[in-house]
């Protein structure tokens, strides 16, 4: 997990607030973005305020490959507000990276706002299909970078370390970003980049020099799947993330989206989780009417080095959801271990176990999440019961039996459960001392999944709309949000509809 020595600050605070805010950011890509000077030229943002990073902050991450040696370095370009662009006052000038001859550079973007759209020098950049943006994610030259990396691997120049076996969670394989045990409703998005906010107004790269000279600075970060795995799940299990040298991180090395995806490509789990048609970043949302798009799904996959889907069957949301049931089993299996680990978001859940249980329940729920609970005719609020105290998840119970049956094919899409879902096999991780509810997932990414389940799921045309008509004792899928408790909490309860996963000193 992150620690003070890791980021070079005196203390670390992680916070996660209500839901992704309706901020739609435009990021101007500087000229010649794949060159050293382009990387060191600040990206500029309009439509959002980078200083309000919790709600509106965005982040840029680059991977630089030397095709002659296979060496990789990570570099985090700086992103500033367009109307606050005075060097020395509004930002500290970025350090200039040293690029090898014929360097291949890939750039990826993440955001705590609702959506990002790239403008400026966007040749080779992708942020969606036509007018349908991905959301909090975009990339420039991503496919070319992964192709070059694979070439270096085939030539014996680049050696990717194996994912390996956990040394603390003995007997278990370490997770990767394509592992169904740890993915969520929109896998392979956002980045590990951190920035510094000095005196509440000046932005800077989180370089060793800047961090040392500004020990009271706030560290701005992007709530990402990569950071969750690299900084929380992997260390807790006794696993070591794949890192590379970086002049824009205090410790001199950094994990990165590109490294995570490259490692997962070289050592794929079986089955491997690849972006599906029902990923909320891959669908097309036309004023609430949601349709699946193979073209948009493949554009997303290309940017993170994943195999293209030849047909809709190759990116089936139903198959994805069936395999995703393994996540519930994994979280329950490691309840004791994860309950002792720090929560990535203490404002959401009190430890890593309750955080992951909440994240899974949100992701497995109805559209605009993956829609898995609707596909298989189960009520996620009953299968993952969550206790809240002051709107923080303090305990969770996961009934593993229905998830095992989904994984085994015993519960089929639209079918019936063969055993009662009422006997929870998980145990509570914390005693509730106040009013509690069974919070099944809260609001979705844009806050449009109502607690009664009557949000965009009503108009969706995806596979997730196959309502269960069977007699499953797990209950009809009626949506996420509060259960039958005495108080309905309308705040967000999950990883992906957030507007901030911040580190602050």
Written as one string, the DSSP assignment of 392-456 is EEEEEEE-HHHHHHHHHTSSPTT---SS-S-S--S--SS---S--------S-TTS-S-TTS-SG
* pLDDT at residue 7 greater than cutoff 50: no
* pLDDT at residue 3 greater than cutoff 70: no
* pLDDT at residue 443 greater than cutoff 50: no
Round to the nearest angstrom and report the end-to-end CA distance of the chain. Answer: 15
pLDDT of residue 21: 55
pLDDT of residue 85: 95
* pLDDT at residue 459 greater than cutoff 50: no
Cβ neighbours, 10 Å, residue 469: 11
Q: How confident is the model at residue 414 (pLDDT cuts 50, 70, 90)?
A: confident
Distance, CA of 282 to CA of 333 (rounded, Å): 31
* pLDDT at residue 333 greater than cutoff 60: yes
Task: Give DSSP secondary structure letters for 182-222.
Answer: T--TT-S-S---EEEEETTTEEEE--HHHHHH-TTPEEEE-
Q: Are 500 and 16 in contact (CB under 8 A)?
A: yes
Nearest to 25 by CA among 126, 102, 133, 166: 133
pLDDT of residue 416: 55
Q: What is the mean pLDDT of residues 361-369?
A: 95
Cβ neighbours, 10 Å, residue 502: 24
Contacting residues for 162 by C-beta, under 8 A, at least 6 apart: 267
* pLDDT at residue 53 greater than cutoff 60: yes
Q: What is the mean pLDDT of residues 108-136?
A: 96
* pLDDT at residue 171 greater than cutoff 60: yes
205-219, 366-380, 451-465: the lowest-pLDDT one = 451-465
Distance, CA of 341 to CA of 234 (rounded, Å): 11
Q: What is the mean pLDDT of residues 56-65?
A: 97
Q: What is the mean pLDDT of residues 167-189?
A: 97
| Token duo for residue 61 | 């991450």
Q: What is the mean pLDDT of residues 160-176?
A: 97
Mean pLDDT rounded to a whole number for the chain: 82
% the chain with pLDDT above 90? 75
Q: How confident is the model at residue 252 (pLDDT cuts 50, 70, 90)?
A: very high
Q: How confident is the model at residue 469 (pLDDT cuts 50, 70, 90)?
A: very low
pLDDT of residue 480: 31
- Measured at the alpha carbon of residue 259, what is the angle toward residues 255 and 261, in degrees to the nearest 5? 125
157-161, 263-267, 355-359, 455-459: the lowest-pLDDT one = 455-459
Q: Rounded to an integer, what is the distance from CA 57 to the centroid of its chain?
A: 15
Q: What is the mean pLDDT of residues 417-425?
A: 36
- Measured at the alpha carbon of residue 247, what is the angle toward residues 32 and 137, in degrees to the nearest 5? 55
* pLDDT at residue 70 greater than cutoff 70: yes
pLDDT of residue 55: 87
Contacting residues for 90 by C-beta, under 8 A, at least 6 apart: 80, 81, 84, 201, 202, 203
Distance, CA of 147 to CA of 274 (rounded, Å): 17
Nearest to 345 by CA among 15, 44, 11, 121: 15
Contacting residues for 156 by C-beta, under 8 A, at least 6 apart: none
Handedness of CA 188, 460, 368, 388 (dihedral sign): negative
């Amino acid at each position: 997990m992150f620690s003070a020595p890791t980021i070079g600050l005196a203390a670390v605070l992680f916070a996660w607030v209500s839901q992704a805010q309706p901020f739609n950011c435009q990021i101007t890509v500087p000229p010649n973005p794949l060159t050293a000077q382009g990387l060191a030229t600040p990206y500029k943002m309009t439509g959002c305020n980078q200083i309000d990073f919790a709600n509106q902050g965005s982040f840029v991450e680059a991977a630089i490959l030397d095709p002659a040696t296979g060496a990789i370095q990570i570099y985090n370009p700086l992103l500033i507000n367009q109307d606050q662009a005075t060097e020395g006052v509004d930002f500290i000038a970025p350090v200039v990276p040293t690029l090898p001859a014929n360097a291949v550079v890939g750039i990826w973007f993440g955001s705590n706002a609702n959506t990002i759209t790239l403008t400026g020098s966007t040749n080779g950049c992708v942020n969606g299909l036509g007018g349908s943006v991905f959301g909090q994610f975009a990339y420039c030259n991503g496919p070319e970078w992964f192709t070059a990396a694979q070439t270096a691997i085939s030539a014996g120049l680049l050696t990717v370390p194996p994912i390996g076996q956990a040394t603390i969670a003995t007997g278990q394989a370490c997770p990767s970003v394509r592992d169904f045990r740890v993915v969520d409703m929109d896998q392979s998005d956002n980045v590990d980049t951190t920035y510094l906010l000095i005196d509440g107004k000046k932005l800077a790269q989180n370089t060793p020099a800047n961090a040392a000279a500004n020990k009271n600075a706030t560290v701005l970060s992007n709530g990402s799947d990569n950071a969750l795995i690299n900084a929380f799940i992997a260390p807790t299990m006794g696993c070591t993330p794949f890192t590379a040298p970086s002049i824009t991180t205090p410790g001199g090395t950094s994990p990165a989206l590109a490294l995570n995806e490259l490692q997962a490509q070289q050592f794929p789990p079986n089955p491997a989780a690849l972006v599906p048609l029902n990923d909320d970043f891959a669908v097309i949302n036309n004023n609430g009417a949601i349709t699946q798009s193979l073209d948009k799904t493949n554009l997303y996959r290309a940017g993170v080095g994943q195999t293209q889907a030849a047909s809709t069957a190759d990116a089936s949301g139903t198959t994805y959801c069936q395999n995703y049931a393994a996540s519930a089993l994994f979280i329950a299996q490691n309840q004791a271990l994860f309950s002792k680990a720090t929560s990535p978001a203490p404002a959401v859940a009190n430890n890593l176990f309750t955080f992951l249980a909440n994240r899974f329940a949100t992701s497995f729920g109805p559209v605009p999440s993956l829609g898995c609970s609707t596909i298989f005719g189960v009520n996620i609020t009953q299968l993952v019961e969550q206790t809240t105290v002051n709107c923080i998840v303090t305990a969770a119970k996961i009934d593993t039996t229905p998830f095992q049956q989904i994984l085994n094919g015993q519960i089929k899409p639209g079918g019936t459960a063969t055993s009662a879902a009422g006997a929870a096999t998980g145990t509570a991780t914390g005693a509730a001392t106040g009013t509690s509810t069974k919070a099944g997932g809260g609001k979705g990414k844009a806050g449009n999944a109502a607690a009664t389940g009557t949000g965009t799921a009503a108009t969706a045309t995806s596979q997730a709309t196959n309502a269960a008509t069977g007699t499953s004792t797990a209950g009809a899928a009626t949506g996420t949000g509060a259960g039958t408790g005495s108080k309905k909490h309308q705040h967000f309860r999950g990883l992906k509809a957030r507007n901030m996963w911040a580190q602050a000193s």
